[in-house]
Structures are given as structure tokens and as C-alpha cells.
Amino acid sequence: MTAYKRHIDNTAISDLTVARLSVYLRCMDRLLELGIETISSQALADRFNLNSAQIRKDLAYFGEFGVRGVGYNVRELRQYVVEILGLDRERRLIIVGAGNLGTALCHYSGFSGGNFLVVGILDSDPSRIGDPTPAGLLVEDAARLGEIVTQRQVEIGVITTPASAAQSISEKMAEAGLKVILNFAPIRVRADEGVLVKTVDLGVHLEELSFHLTHV
Amino acid sequence: MTAYKRHIDNTAISDLTVARLSVYLRCMDRLLELGIETISSQALADRFNLNSAQIRKDLAYFGEFGVRGVGYNVRELRQYVVEILGLDRERRLIIVGAGNLGTALCHYSGFSGGNFLVVGILDSDPSRIGDPTPAGLLVEDAARLGEIVTQRQVEIGVITTPASAAQSISEKMAEAGLKVILNFAPIRVRADEGVLVKTVDLGVHLEELSFHLTHV
DNA sequence: CGGACCATGTGTGCATTTTCACAAGCGCGA
DNA sequence: TCGCGCTTGTGAAAATGCACACATGGTCCG
Ligand SMILES: NC(=O)c1ccc[n+]([C@@H]2O[C@H](COP(=O)([O-])OP(=O)(O)OC[C@H]3O[C@@H](n4cnc5c(N)ncnc54)[C@H](O)[C@@H]3O)[C@@H](O)[C@H]2O)c1
Ligand SMILES: NC(=O)c1ccc[n+]([C@@H]2O[C@H](COP(=O)([O-])OP(=O)(O)OC[C@H]3O[C@@H](n4cnc5c(N)ncnc54)[C@H](O)[C@@H]3O)[C@@H](O)[C@H]2O)c1
């Protein structure tokens, strides 16, 4: 139940594997809700529409968590995945852009059971600064970004401004020392080496659905 | 400028290709803003950090849109991509779950230049029904889903309820005739053959970022 | 009108990801 | 204690995705 084999060798872990680990975590949570304490990779795959070999291979990058002939202990495996994903400590984040999406995210405390903590929401519009959000935070001046990141030990930046501001904000975030950024603006942001910008473009998803509608 | 070679042969188009077409569309929009009317795949790749061969191959599934020795006409190519993605007609969608995220999405009219139209927002909570949203729609009773889908010719369903309700809502949507569903609840929804459920789990993205933070 | 030039469209090979299939290992019951 | 049954962990194969490189076929200029 303690440490997992930290991935130290030179082979990089694929993004796809990491994303699936998140999915497995949700599966564990669901199983615990159902009172299931032990499960085989096959039963897991059947229940959640996954592939059993892929589950085993994904986990094998980080250690041997199962018992042959038996399967996995759900509670233990959940804890291992939590450690692998780095969810065993608080992650502080700020949101830049206190519009519709920014405030919705701010209010949403349910991220992974409270490990992600919104410690600031910033905007450049003077008429919005000082506004309270439903979550109890006040909107602060985006010009104070660097200062806030340092003082509140922020690790993650979230961009919910219009696309036109996204590039410059990501640069300011990188300058302030943030290493990972989640960008909701529909634009491909360029980032320096060592800074990871993950863009989530909801428009792309809707357009994929539109494609499926037109192509039977 | 009329029709593109409709993909009718047996080879399926990859999801990754479709997602990239959306990206190309945004690139075209940006180029037109800049007043650029013609561009080669190489110049496009350089400017937006893409691969020129991949651009050509993605487009080649649907026809020959370029001119050898010259490149692509930006305006024309944009129109072709619009047709390929089925964005040349209005797509009506309803949102089920009038909470934080649901209302934020409802208010967001900027989807692909207005081709996606929110024609209803539903909730099961009696105290929310009748509430106005910033966009001018009133929240309606989720029990009327089937009726609303038929009357308003809805094609796309969006789920922004808690995870516990997502499965049953997606089934009701499928029953009402919807063929594609965008699900924001953090749960893997099972769907019948012929119904496409695309889940966008924001928690997964944050957890990916957390992984990168812990693994240098 | 012809040839030099240039970027597309595509055949081919490489890389990554997924799936298969089985030897190795653990528990349990006799 | 031993063997049987079950599931893991893992090489090897299949499938998928990506990138190179060049023949093809237009443009344009002399
Ligand atoms: N609302 C949605 O449902 C939704 C859905 C998909 C994508 N998006 C994208 O998310 C982004 C935000 O959407 P929204 O609906 O919340 O928009 P919004 O207009 O409601 O909010 C944007 C906020 O950003 C602020 N802002 C602008 N420039 C800034 C800067 N330089 N520094 C700090 N703050 C700045 C504005 O003052 C405003 O408050 C957009 O890029 C949009 O395309 C939104
Ligand atoms: N708010 C966010 O920023 C955010 C971010 C990521 C993911 N999500 C996910 O999106 C979903 C919605 O989040 P939210 O913050 O808007 O939650 P919310 O609680 O504000 O809203 C949920 C709404 O769904 C309604 N509802 C519940 N059961 C229903 C049913 N059976 N039929 C119709 N309506 C029903 C509720 O009455 C409520 O109005 C959740 O699954 C959440 O995990 C939200």
C-alpha cells in the first residue's frame, strides 16, 4: 500500500496511458460505491467497456499491483493510481478569465474529490474585479498574476479568456513559474520547452459530432 | 466550390483525422482574418505547428482541393471543410442539467460561428424549472425531453447533470431519437449501436496535468 | 509553345498503440 | 505438501497512425 515503482527508466509514458489511469480511478470509485473489494482485469473490462490486456499493460508500467489467480484489491489499486497521478497532495490552481466558463469552473469543487483547489480567479476587466463568485472567492486583477502564483503556491493555470488573450496569458503564466496550463480558449498556444499547455476545445468535440451526423 | 467527394467507400475516417479537420478550419479562419487568400500545406504547417504531409493526407480522404505548384485557396478550402464536417447547416441541440456548466454552455453562442443552436435547457429540479438563463431561454421540465426533441428537430444532446443521472438521460435521449450525445458527466456511458456518446471529462485533463507535475 | 519550377497527392516504410496468447505465479482444497 | 484452476504480467503480432520522399501535374515566364 506504500510506494509504487516510480517510473524512472528512460521510456516515457504515453499520454493515452495516463488518461486511461484517470478512467481507472473513476472505475475504482464506482466499484467501492458498489461494495466490490476485489476485481479481475477481465471483470473490470466487461463492466466498464474496456480491454483487459490494456488495463494490465497500463498498470505494469508502474509496478505489480495484482495477485495472480485472484485479481486486484480495489481499495489498494485506487490508492496506487492516486499516487501515480500525483493526486495524494493538494494541487492549487488559478483561473484567468472570470466569464461564464471561468465562474462555472470556479464553483465546481468536485475535481477528483477535492484535491484540486481553486485559490484565485482573475480578470482584466475593471468592472469585474472585486465581484464575488458563487464559491466565495473575489475576482482579482489579472495584473497581479505573478504575485498571486508565488504567494499562494499555485501549480496549475487555467485559461478561460477569449482566444485573443490566451497566448499572452500563457506566456505570463510561464513567466510566473507555472509548468502546466489548461487552456479552454479555441486556439493552439505555443509554449516554451518545459511548459505543458493542454487545450480543451469544446468546439472541436461538437464538430466531431456534426461530422458523424452527416456521414451516417 | 460545390460538393466534395463524399466519403462513401468502405474505409472509415479516423476520429483523429476528423478532429484535425476542425483544427484546420480554425486555421483557415485565422488566415482570412490576416488577409491571406492562398497557402501551401508547408506554410500552413509552419505557421500553426502542424505536419504538411498529414494535412494533405487528411484532405485527400475527401477529394483534391489544392492546385499543384500553387497550394490551397483558403476561402475555398474553408468551405470544403465546412461541408465535410456538416457545418453548412444549423445543428440544434438541447442541454439537460441547468446547473453551473449547463448554463455556461447555454450562454455560449460562439460555437463555430453560430451553426450550433441551443434550443432548450432542461432540468428535473422543480425549483429550477421556469428560471430564465442569461441567453433568454427558460429552463424546462426534463420529463418533456422526448416531446421537445421531436418538436424542435433537435439533433444533438448535451448532458451536464451529475454522473449518477447521465446513463439514464443518455438512454432517454437515444429513445427520443438522438444519435449523438456530448456528455460532461465523469462517467463512461454505455450506448446502443448507432448512438455515439462522446464524453468530455475535465477531471481527466486536470489529472493528466497532475501526472506531469509529479513526473518532472 | 515549351520547359523550368513548385506544391500536391500518394506509395512506402517507420513508429506507436492495441490486441493476442501464454508462461509464470498465487491460492485453495485434498 | 502437491496439484489444479485461475489471473496476472509480458513477449510477440496485428493494427493503426505518422512521416518521408517522389512522381504527377499544374503554373508561369521567356
Ligand atoms: N462559455 C462556454 O460555455 C464555453 C464553451 C467552450 C469554450 N469556451 C471558451 O472559453 C473562453 C471563455 O468563454 P466565456 O463564455 O467564459 O467568455 P466570457 O466572455 O464570458 O469571459 C471571458 C472573460 O475573460 C476576461 N478577459 C479578457 N481578456 C483578458 C485578459 N487579457 N486577462 C484576463 N482576463 C481577460 C473578460 O473580461 C471576461 O470576463 C472563450 O475562449 C470561449 O471560446 C467557452
Ligand atoms: N461545473 C463545472 O465546472 C464542471 C466541470 C467539470 C465537470 N462537470 C460535470 O458536469 C456536471 C454538471 O456540473 P455542474 O457543476 O453544472 O452541476 P450542478 O449541480 O450545478 O448542476 C447539475 C444540474 O443537473 C440537474 N439534474 C440532476 N439530475 C437530473 C436529471 N435526472 N434530469 C435532469 N436534470 C437533472 C440538477 O437539478 C442540477 O440543476 C457534473 O457531472 C460535473 O461532474 C462540471
From the alpha carbon of A161, which atom of ligand 1 is closest?
24
The H or E element that residue B27 is part of is helix B15-33
Closest listed residue to residue A168, CA positions, set A96, A104, A103, A118: A96
Contact residues, A window 6-65, toward B, CB-based 8 Å cutoff: 7, 13, 15, 18-19, 21-23, 25-27, 30, 48-49
CATH topology for the A10-84 domain: Arc Repressor Mutant, subunit A (1.10.10)
State residue A1's pLDDT score.
47
Q: What is the mean pLDDT of each run of 10 residues along chain A (216 residues)?
A: 59 94 95 96 95 98 96 97 96 96 84 84 97 88 98 98 96 98 92 92 94 91
B91: chain A residues, CB-CB within 8 Å: 206, 210, 213
State residue B76's pLDDT score.
96
pLDDT tens per residue, range B131-185: 998 778 999 999 999 999 999 999 999 999 999 999 999 999 999 999 999 999 9
If you average pLDDT over residues B209-216, what whole number do you get?
93
Which of A10, A33, A207 is best to mutate for the B interface (most B CBs within 10 A)?
A: A207
- For B178, counting Cβ atoms within 10 Å of its Cβ (0-12 exposed, 13-18 middle, 19+ buried), the class is buried
State residue B112's pLDDT score.
66
| Grid cell for residue B115 | 451553426
| Grid cell for residue B114 | 453560430
Backbone phi, psi, residue A46, to 5°? -60, -45
Average pLDDT, chain B: 92
Report CA B104 to chain centroid distance, whole Å.
16
Backbone phi, psi, residue A196, to 5°? -105, 120
Q: Which residue of B has its CA nearest to A179?
A: B213
State residue B110's pLDDT score.
64
> In this structure, which amino acid lies at residue B55?
I
* Ligand positioned closest to the Cα atom of B95: 2
pLDDT tens per residue, range A77-87: 999 999 999 99
- The answer to whether some atom of strand C lies closer than 7 Å to the beta carbon of B56 is yes
- One-letter-per-residue 3-state SS of chain B: CCCCCCCCCCCCCCHHHHHHHHHHHHHHHHHHHCCCCEECHHHHHHHHCCCHHHHHHHHHCCCCCCECCCEEEHHHHHHHHHHHCCCCCCEEEEEECCCHHHHHHHHCCCHHHHCEEEEEEEECCCCCCCCECCCCCEEEEHHHHHHHHHHCCCCEEEECCCHHHHHHHHHHHHHCCCCEEEECCCCCCCCCCCCEEEECCHHHHHHHHHHHHHCC
User: pTM (2 decimals)?
Assistant: 0.93
pLDDT tens per residue, range B5-38: 666 566 789 999 999 999 999 999 999 999 999 9
State residue A36's pLDDT score.
97
State residue A9's pLDDT score.
59
Closest listed residue to residue B189, CA positions, set A48, A19, A206: A48
Bases of chain D below 7 A from a protein C-beta are 5-11, 16-21, 24-28
Q: Residue A182: helix, strand or coil by DSSP? A: strand
State residue B192's pLDDT score.
87
What angle do helix axes B15-33 and B52-60 make, rounded to 10 degrees? 110
Q: Contact, B53 vs B4, CB < 8 A?
A: no
Q: Which residue has the cell 480495489?
A: A74
> In this structure, which amino acid lies at residue A77?
L
Atom 34 in ligand 2: which residue has the minimum CA distance?
B123
In sequence order, what E strands does A36-115 have? 38-39, 72-73, 91-96
DSSP A11: P
B104: chain A residues, CB-CB within 8 Å: 100-101, 103-104
CATH superfamily, domain A91-204, is NAD(P)-binding Rossmann-like Domain (3.40.50.720)
Q: Contact, A84 vs A60, CB < 8 A?
A: no
* Ligand positioned closest to the Cα atom of B172: 2
Residue B211's pLDDT band (cuts 50, 70, 90): very high
> In this structure, which amino acid lies at residue A123?
D
Residues forming a β-bridge with A139: A121
Closest listed residue to residue A129, CA positions, set A91, A96, A92, A171: A96
Residues 6+ apart with CB under 8 A from A214: B85, B86
- The answer to whether some atom of strand D lies closer than 7 Å to the beta carbon of A70 is yes
- The answer to whether some atom of strand D lies closer than 7 Å to the beta carbon of A56 is yes
pLDDT tens per residue, range B100-110: 999 999 888 66
Residues forming a β-bridge with A159: A96, A183
| Grid cell for residue A180 | 502546466
- The answer to whether some atom of strand C lies closer than 7 Å to the beta carbon of B4 is no
Do the Cβ atoms of B212 and A179 come within 8 Å? yes
Q: How far apart are CA B104 and CA B29, in angstroms?
A: 25
The ranges assigned to domains in chain A are 10-84, 91-204
If you average pLDDT over residues B59-65, what whole number do you get?
96
| Grid cell for residue B60 | 485527400
- Using a CB–CB cutoff of 8 Å, tell me whether B121 touches chain A: no
pLDDT tens per residue, range B65-78: 999 999 999 999 99
The Å distance, Cα A166 to ligand 1 centre, comes to 9
